Amino acid sequence: MPMVRITNVRKAYATGFEALKGVSLDIHEGEILALLGPNGAGKTTLISTICGITQPTSGTITVGGHDVVTAYRGARSLVGLVPQEINLEPFERVMNTVRFSRGLFGKPKDDALLERILRQLSLWDKRDNKIMELSGGMKRRVLIAKALAHEPRVLFLDEPTAGVDVELRRDMWDIVAGLKQSGVTIILTTHYIEEAEAIADRIGVINAGEILLVEEKTALMTRLGQKELRIELHEPVTALPTALADRGLRIEEDGQVLVYTYDTSKDRTGIATLIRDISEAGLVLRDLQTRQNSLEDIFVGLVTKQEDAA
Amino acid sequence: MNWQAIRAIYVFEMSRFFRTLLQSFVSPVISTSLYFVVFGAAIGSRIDQVDGISYGAFIVPGLIMLSVMTQAISNASFGIYFPKFIGTIYELLSAPINFLEIVMGYVGAAATKALFIGVVILGTSALFVDLSIQHPFAMLLFLVLTCLSFSLLGFIIGIWAGNFEQLQLVPLLIVTPLVFLGGSFYSISMLPPVWQTISFFNPVVYLVSGFRWSFFGLADVPIGLSLLAIGAFTMLCLAVIWWIFKTGWRIRQ
């Protein structure tokens, strides 16, 4: 049983706008899943629906086996949410607001635990400060401390590093890595591809209310490690010469271009022999290009493909 | 029942009250003193007695009710509107709590604050006039029920309000006139017959009358009717709040 199971969830707002168009997704215990998508893709709506801030129009979501609508107490007590906006009461003191969050989730007072959380987030020295006295980065940490105060098993981080400087972003990644070590399942949304690359175990791509891809990051990375050699020919070919038939070549642009995919991490890429064989087969080269796949390419490719289909 | 959550909301809301304790304490004392100077001493010296009670003493129950009702509404409406305004409502909506627990926390705290102010005014009044309370238990019951029911009303207003102006609108345009016209400073029997009839459509009349009865044993309407009115008003507010949370009106999309 996955930690979070989302089955065919749709969410239509009163205006008729469909923010989620039948999303299904399993999130496994202990993993870090990055949901990648442009602004307005439905990332926040998906998180809000899991956390109970909005109700799904149809479909079901379970957290730890509890349905988020019919067994909301069981589901919600497992979930911590760090919202995108810095929503904090400015006149309240750090310790008070964290204590409030713990109580709100039905947990008995445990100041020793709250001290550990605040120390972990370098907030302990600020515990008696008013929220309004803190910097933006510190406020974000307070939001995380509030979400962790009731010892959630699943933590949602909605754009944790949006509008945050580079140094703070690295800090945030360290915090997330630390949380994973303590066994928390983490789902974060981001539109920074490098962020997903840096910390996620799996990466999901969401756009226009649909999940386009969910894949292990390592599998994605293997695709990233691949390079393409594009060989432009003087005269177009209709079929590959038999000498080149088993080399994994692809014909593109009406036979004008041959595409060869190879792995840069291997000792021998086979480029030299390929070029030699091509000229031996009597084909004349006009130009050569190499191109590296990036997560961004995959992402942009998926999103534009979806838009073309629409 | 998530008692921890109710307690957390209650303690959090009360801490706001304690931060401004001086203001919470001083302002009702000053305003009550002013009412006594104006109504009690200046005007009251020309009105000897109402139903055999000195005018200064006669207005005490109405004065308490006036403050308790407005304070209950403003505390409760601000208490729930503020999280909506600054966005911290997300935490309430994602917490494992139901509507009753949220209401108990917020309304409980708002009612406690109003009760505190009511007691402060009662104490201040005792400095100005001779007070005897014939039915102390009934007095307390009316006071607590009024604190609770008007906090419930305030909670509804806080959820309904889309901005700070609307937050003030209902108290200003509806509640304050109803309270002033509800016999806080006069007996309904002092009015011409037509206005007496109209007054009986004002729910506040039943509360003030019942509350005054607990002090002096005199009432404009039967005491049972007063209790019924406040009970019905409380139930109506609870029903509206239950509907709000069931439908997610103005809070959950």
Picking from B15, B20, B94, B106 by the largest number of A CB atoms within 10 A of its own CB, the best residue to mutate is B94
Say yes or no: B247 contacts chain A, CB-CB below 8 A: no
pLDDT of residue B51: 76
Number of C-beta neighbours around residue A225 at 10 A:
14
- What pLDDT does A172 receive? 84
pLDDT score recorded for residue A109:
93
Does B22 score more than 90 pLDDT? Answer: no
DSSP designation for A93:
B
Mean local confidence (pLDDT), A69-78: 94
Interface of A with B in 2-41 (CB under 8 A): 13-14
CB contact under 8 A, B86 and A87: yes
Does the structure show a pLDDT above 80 at B225? yes
Please indicate, yes or no, whether the overall pTM of this predicted structure exceeds 0.90.
no
Query: Which spans in chain B are helix H?
Result: 3-19, 21-35, 55-86, 89-94, 99-128, 136-160, 164-170, 176-180, 193-199, 203-216, 223-247
pLDDT confidence of residue A146: 96
Q: For residues A262-272, give the mean pLDDT.
A: 77
Q: Which of A55, A75, A87 sits opposite B252 (nearest CB)?
A: A55
> Taking CB atoms and an 8 Å limit, are A73 and B92 in contact across chains?
no
Nearest residue of A to residue B246, measured between CA atoms: A55
Least confident of A296-305, B7-16, B237-246: A296-305
Partnered with residue A187 across adjacent β-strands are A33, A156
List pLDDT tens digits, range A275-290: 888 888 888 888 988 8
Q: Chain B partners of A55 at a C-beta cutoff of 8 Å?
A: 248, 252-253
Q: Which two tokens stand for residue A296?
A: 């961004």
A240 vs A31, higher pLDDT: A31
Read off the pLDDT of each residue in B139-159 and give the average, rounded to a whole number.
94
How far apart are the C-alpha atoms of A138 and B220, rounded to whole Å?
60
Q: Residue A224 above 70 pLDDT?
A: no
Ordered by start, the domain boundaries in chain A are: 4-221, 226-292
Residue A184, pLDDT above cutoff 90: yes
Per the prediction, chain A carries an average pLDDT of: 88
ipTM of this complex:
0.86
Rounded mean pLDDT, A166-185: 87
A197: distance to nearest CA of chain B, Å? 29
Q: Is the pLDDT of residue A267 over 80?
A: no
* pLDDT of A16: 86
Distance (Å) from the alpha carbon of A7 to chain B's nearest alpha carbon: 20
Binary contact (B5, A104; C-beta < 8 A) = yes
Interatomic CA distance for residues B139 and B119, integer angstroms: 11
Q: Is residue B76 within 8 Å of B147, Cβ to Cβ?
A: no
Mean pLDDT of A167-194: 87
Residue in chain B nearest A12 by alpha carbon: B253
Starting at the edge strand found earlier in the chain, the sheet holding A226-233 runs A250-252, A257-263, A226-233, A285-292
Which of B91, B95, B253 has its CB closest to that of A13? B253
A106 vs B contacts (CB less than 8 Å): 2-5, 96-97
Q: Which residues in chain B are contacts of A91 at CB distance < 8 A? A: 16, 19
Within 8 A of A89 by CB-CB distance, chain B residues are 82-83, 86, 88
- Closest Cβ–Cβ partner in A53, A107, A146 for B4: A107
In CATH terms, the superfamily for domain A4-221 is P-loop containing nucleotide triphosphate hydrolases (3.40.50.300)
Instruction: Please write the tens of the pLDDT for every residue from B61-97.
Output: 988 998 899 899 999 999 999 999 999 999 999 999 9
| Domain topology for A226-292 | Alpha-Beta Plaits (3.30.70)
Q: Does pLDDT of B253 surpass 70?
A: no
pLDDT class for B101, splitting at 50, 70, 90?
very high
Q: Flag whether pLDDT at A58 surpasses 90.
A: yes
Q: What is the pLDDT of residues A142-169, one digit of tens each?
A: 999 999 999 999 999 998 887 777 877 8
CA distance linking residue B248 with residue B253, whole number of Å:
7
**Amino acid found at B78:** F
Check: CB of residue A173 under 8 Å from CB of residue A199. Answer: yes
User: Are B8 and A87 a contacting pair at CB < 8 A?
Assistant: no
CB A198 within 8 A of CB A173: yes
N- to C-terminal Cα separation, chain B: 25
Residue ranges covered by each domain of chain B? 3-247
Greatest Cα pair distance, chain B, in angstroms, is 60
User: How would residue A265 be classed by pLDDT, with cut points 50, 70 and 90?
Assistant: low
Q: What percent of chain A stands above pLDDT 70?
A: 97
pLDDT band, residue A50 (cuts 50/70/90): very high
**Is B140 a residue whose pLDDT tops 80?**
yes
Contacts of A104 in chain B (CB under 8 A): 4-5, 8-9, 91-92, 95, 97
Interface test with B, best of A79, A81, A104 (most B CBs within 10 A): A104
Residue B3's pLDDT is 93
A106 vs B96: CB contact, 8 Å cut-off?
A: yes
